[in-house]
Amino acid sequence: MRRVLVSGASRGIGRAVASIFAEHGDRVAVHYGANADAAEQTLKGLPGSGHIMVAGDLRDPNATRAIAETAVRELGGIDVLVNNAAVAPSAATRHAIADVDYAQWQQVWRQMIDVNLLGAANLTYAVTRHLMDRGSPGSIVNIGSRGAFRGEPDFPAYAAGKAALHAFGQSMAVTLAPHGISVTSVAPGFVGTERQETKLTGPEGDTVRAQSPFGRVGTPDEVAAAVFYLASAQAQWASGAVLDLNGASYLRT
């Protein structure tokens, strides 16, 4: 039994990640930002017992450290961290350079970098120091994005933050290997989460599905399965990897 902290587990990919660990007998800290009702739904759906919920705004470094402290206290420790929470592309965060004014440009950059990069870096700090203090091995898996490689013309801060998250993970993989801690990232393409429902059922749906030669989008369960593998002891040798999960929609060299 491992103790697993999943950031942003109130819905979507984070919920699927929380579920797969719980299905395998692990205990999960379901982290959320603002949506307590949705996090409660995640928690209720988890098989097994001993799971907890923990709130905290990842834009706030003190709140971020408190998330890790709460999970350590209530689970009795953390063995696996999944950095999943993010401010994702949406109509509200679109910031194509030609279309937004300077104030909007700065606001979205700040929000995306604060949560998607600095939030993950600060949570990694807190969990890593806990593992080091215990002298225990562990795993950290970051949820990155295909956008880091392919570019996101309408969401440049998102792509830049995810590229930085991949690079951060690789630096940590090197520095934490002597401590028995593996650090990996996954880079999903389009995933059919609740958040993407309107896009997938609307006029753009077919175009999105056609990005992959499989003619479909990925599922949260497919991402969760990869995260579960990367967090396992058998995957220690994958440390430093950034795993593409995009149905051959974008092949990087």
Ligand X SMILES: NC(=O)c1ccc[n+]([C@@H]2O[C@H](COP(=O)([O-])OP(=O)(O)OC[C@H]3O[C@@H](n4cnc5c(N)ncnc54)[C@H](OP(=O)(O)O)[C@@H]3O)[C@@H](O)[C@H]2O)c1
Q: Which residue is nearest to ligand X (CB)?
A: 12
Does position 126 interact with ligand X (CB under 6 A)? The reply is: no
Q: Which span sits near ligand X by CB under 6 A: 82-90, 132-140, 169-177, 230-238?
A: 82-90
Q: Residues 79, 67, 107, CA angle at the centre, nearest 5°?
A: 120
Lookup: tokens for 108: 């979205």
Q: Which span sits near ligand X by CB under 6 A: 33-41, 72-80, 100-108, 166-174?
A: 33-41
Q: Residues 193, 199, 200, CA angle at the centre, nearest 5°?
A: 70
Exactly one of 32, 149, 168, 228 binds ligand X (CB under 6 A); which one?
Answer: 32
| Catalytic residue chosen out of the listed positions 32, 125, 158, 229 | 158
Residue 130 CB, nearest approach to ligand X (Å): 19
> What does the alpha-carbon distance between residue 53 and residue 40 come to, in Å, rounded to a whole number?
7
Q: In what order do the strands lie in the sheet with 181-188?
A: 52-55, 27-32, 3-6, 80-83, 138-143, 181-188, 242-245
Q: Is 158 a catalytic residue?
A: yes
The one-letter amino acid at 47 = P
Active site residues: 158
Binding footprint of ligand X on the chain (CB under 6 A)? 8, 10-14, 32-35, 57-59, 84-88, 115, 143, 145, 188, 190-191, 193, 195-196
